[in-house]
Structure 1
Amino acid sequence: MLPAAPQSQPILFTNATVHTVTNGVLLDSDVLIADGKVIAVSKDLELTTDPAAALATAQQSDHAQLINQAELISQAQIIDASDKHLYPGLIALDTTMGLVEVEMMRPSNDAYEVGFINPQLEAITAFNPDSEIIPTVRVNGITHAQVVPQGDGLSGQSALVSMDSWTIEDALVESKKQFHLYWPHVRWLSKDDDKRKEQLADLEHRVAKVFDAFSDGQRYLLAKQAGKIDKIDLRWQALAPLYEGNAQLFIHAQSQQQIEQAIALAKQYSFSIVIVGGYDAWRVADALAEVDAKVVYNQTLALPKRKDEPIDLAFKIPALLKQAQVPFALGFSSDWNSRNLPFAAGQSVAYGLTKDEALQSITLDAAKILDIDDMGAIAPGFKANIILATGDILDPMQAGIESIYIDGRKIDLNNRHQQLYQKYLKR
């Protein structure tokens, strides 16, 4: 399973059902890609059956863009996509892709680090582009993944990676710095009064440590700007882009109390924040809007978190976020299990989202969460991350993915699962 070579020839998909995301669904349409970008999307790219005539017509018009487009069409590989679908590549948020190989084996799990305040740590340094898990996930249409460090407190920085690469440098997609803060919480409150008091006191202490850390980081930056730093502290030096508005803070929080505390932190320092989890985010939509916060909702297939809640509440929350006008994307917090991202989006269709909204939540909206403006759609100027399928991408049993392109490169869909399947067919 070798990474694909850079795109060397234009490709023209013809007669496809194109799920553009930005411009609805176009029937019997053509898509032209070249040099890793989408060049044109149209219901009828002019004279595609006679490229030479198209080029002559364009040259007569003396229109540079048309000439360039016609020249590309004349050189293109033609793929007849009649009765097939084109989708933008899916973006998996909040994963440990490439950090974990076998969950139960500590030597192959690089998702965690010791310590409560580690903003200087970068998950990408531990990313393994040769992971056997990556090909088994991308076969479901996931072309990119956000690689996120796990832990307590400030756990480090995440990065967006391509799911087909030789090296870390090849995989890395340029984006703003992304810091991750796991908001302190108590998983289960004890029924014993004394034990409960201890738990709550410890929780209060950990929340105070979070606020103290950001206070220390701000003072360090101010001292550095004033030229009064005697000793470099890598932790606070790494945090500087956050205070300067050149980074985002991803705050992992589920309950209303956690989210409100996170909003208070954002207000204090004017941080750009993303709530990851966001089970109760729809309940505090107005407060989130005050700080322009976004949400990565990762509980689509979860059970209720409270005894008195409807059994299907977690399924409905994407629709509730949409109704509350909270900017959100869907995530599936895992490594190998993130392959279920399109299924999770499909589940949300059964509980209030439209198909277009569900697809957007794992493509364009996911890119917007990361402040990336050229991924997640099939539109001119966007990266040519494209899925060719015979069915509905949100239904893994019917999707029928035939080929996947990342930056215009057709990637190998072979994987360990397929190899084992073929092996035991021959037993």
Structure 2
Amino acid sequence: MKRIITLAATLCATMYVNAHDMVPAPAQSQDILITNATVHSPSIGVMNNTDILIQQGKITAVGQALKADNANIIDGTNKQVYPGVIALDTSLGLVEVEMMRPSNDVYEVGESNPQIVAVSAYNPDSEIIPTVRVNGITHAQVVPQGDLLAGQSSLVSLDSWTIEDALVPSTQGFHLYWPSIRRLSQDKDQRKKQLDEYQQQLQQIQQVFADGQRYFVANKEEQTSKIDLRWQALKPLYQGQAQLFVHANKQLQIEEAVALAKQYQFKLVIVGGYDSWRMADILNEVNASVVYTRTFSLPMRHDEPLEMSFKIPALLAEADIPFALGFSSDWNSRNLPYAAGQAAAYGLTKQQALSAITLDAAKILGVKDMGDIAAGYRGNLVIVQGDLLDPMTNKVEQVFIDGRKIDLNNRHQQLYQKYLKR
């Protein structure tokens, strides 16, 4: 009994530590009219002195001199309005303190876990979430991590009471972490061992998808003797209703991933994608997209220029490869808008950079009503004093998710105010 009481107390303490006290906003009940703002649309560009009307969670009109009876009017004079940012490849809500194993639910044991849905461990009360959305991030792709086939990702809203509230319908995505050899050993025996292990991992991948295909065909013909949850979960991938997100950076990895996608006619998305700009022909041949996540990373090779990682988004655009920017992290994903700004400083236009974290991100996830400011799109907006993509001038004043005004208070601001009083 004493152990049970101690365990219960520990769980309660953990829940308290991992829960923020910002109350999720209620559903929009009054029309919102933003007037005379500078509107940044990824599809159209910058529109000056523009009004935006939001009704029942949707943008219903964008233009000048809009009218709405009994609307909550927000004066957008000298303000910038952007679509809500979508953070791809994050572990938001899965990790609270990285060094504390009990608060880290991003990884599952085993090398073949297609049935694992990462969002089932998502914590909508995570203290990290409010510190991320204060930078204009309204939605995140919650992604599992693992050795090979790690599981499925989901798109969530960053203001919700429960997991069910948070979920946003999107194309189902399976995540495969492609093996790699970081550096070949100079020792002959050790090098042979590295290459053998690499080949074994490739064979494991082939075996997983061959088993999945056999199960799919047998199930289709009603010839399965029992239900296997792993291969049952993979069925949408073989039906062309899901995407395979392959985490890979090097050219050889990407070539092998494309070969796998060709073999099974998978819809392919490369995550990481450091060398993807070099391979436009084969990526475009299979209509693959790229989620580039290394904007703030050092170059992967010693003989590359220091700014190489910053230039790759522009090289992807030049190669006509559909891409978006991601940030493979939990708390650090708040820097995604600044990664887009860095890409804009090294070759992307401001409009392309904004689209890479909004509209293009939504397209990769198969979501058609997010990422832009236009009639019919969700009311996900960020009102900023300054430039959303510039860490020196970015001052987010208001954030709306589906027309709901979000509380921008967070743990960082609370601690800042606390220690101002010392």
1:204-241, Cα deviation, whole Å (9 max, x unpaired): 11011101110110000111111211121111110000
How far, CA to CA, are the matches of 2:325 and 2:173 in structure 1? Answer: 17
1:228 is aligned, of 223, 226, 251, to 223
Describe the SS at the equivalent of 1:184.
coil
Describe the SS at the equivalent of 1:221.
helix
- The answer to whether 1:401 aligns with 2:422 is no
1:358-391, Cα deviation, whole Å (9 max, x unpaired): 0000000000010111000000000000001111
Q: How does 1:163-174 map to 2 (within 5 A)?
A: 163-174=158-169
Specify the alignment match of 1:27 in structure 2: 48
Specify the alignment match of 1:143 in structure 2: 138
1:127 is aligned, of 110, 122, 131, to 122
- The answer to whether 1:319 aligns with 2:314 is yes
Q: How does 1:165-244 map to 2 (within 5 A)?
A: 165-244=160-239
- The answer to whether 1:342 aligns with 2:337 is yes
Q: How does 1:45-194 map to 2 (within 5 A)?
A: 45=66, 48=67, 73-194=68-189
Q: Is the 8 A contact 1:27 1:43 kept in 2?
A: no
Indicate the percent of aligned positions where both proteins have the same amino acid: 65
- Give the drift of 1:262: 0.4
- Give the drift of 1:202: 0.3
How far, CA to CA, are the matches of 1:253 and 1:425 in structure 2? Answer: 45
Residue type at the aligned position of 1:121? I
How far, CA to CA, are the matches of 1:195 and 1:43 in structure 2? Answer: 68
RMSD of Structure 2 on Structure 1 (CA)? 0.7
Describe the SS at the equivalent of 2:184.
coil
Residue type at the aligned position of 1:340? N
- Give the drift of 1:75: 2.0
Specify the alignment match of 1:3 in structure 2: 24
How far, CA to CA, are the matches of 2:197 and 2:155 in structure 1? Answer: 34
- Give the drift of 1:355: 0.6
- The answer to whether 1:281 aligns with 2:269 is no
- Give the drift of 1:396: 2.3
TM-score, normalisation: structure 2:
0.94
Q: Is the 8 A contact 1:123 1:157 kept in 2?
A: yes
Specify the alignment match of 1:264 in structure 2: 259
Residue type at the aligned position of 1:34? Q
Specify the alignment match of 2:33 in structure 1: 12
- Give the drift of 1:44: 3.0
Q: Which runs of 5+ in 2 are unaligned?
A: 1-21
- The answer to whether 1:363 aligns with 2:384 is no
Q: Is the 8 A contact 1:39 1:380 kept in 2?
A: yes
How far, CA to CA, are the matches of 1:121 and 1:327 in structure 2? Answer: 28
Q: Is the 8 A contact 1:154 1:182 kept in 2?
A: yes
- The answer to whether 1:302 aligns with 2:297 is yes
Residue type at the aligned position of 2:412? H
Specify the alignment match of 1:52 in structure 2: none
TM-score, normalisation: structure 1:
0.93
How far, CA to CA, are the matches of 2:186 and 2:102 in structure 1? Answer: 37
How far, CA to CA, are the matches of 1:91 and 1:139 in structure 2? Answer: 13
1:260-288, Cα deviation, whole Å (9 max, x unpaired): 00000010011001000000000110100
Q: How many residue pairs align between the two structures?
A: 401
How far, CA to CA, are the matches of 1:25 and 1:44 in structure 2? Answer: 17
Describe the SS at the equivalent of 2:362.
helix
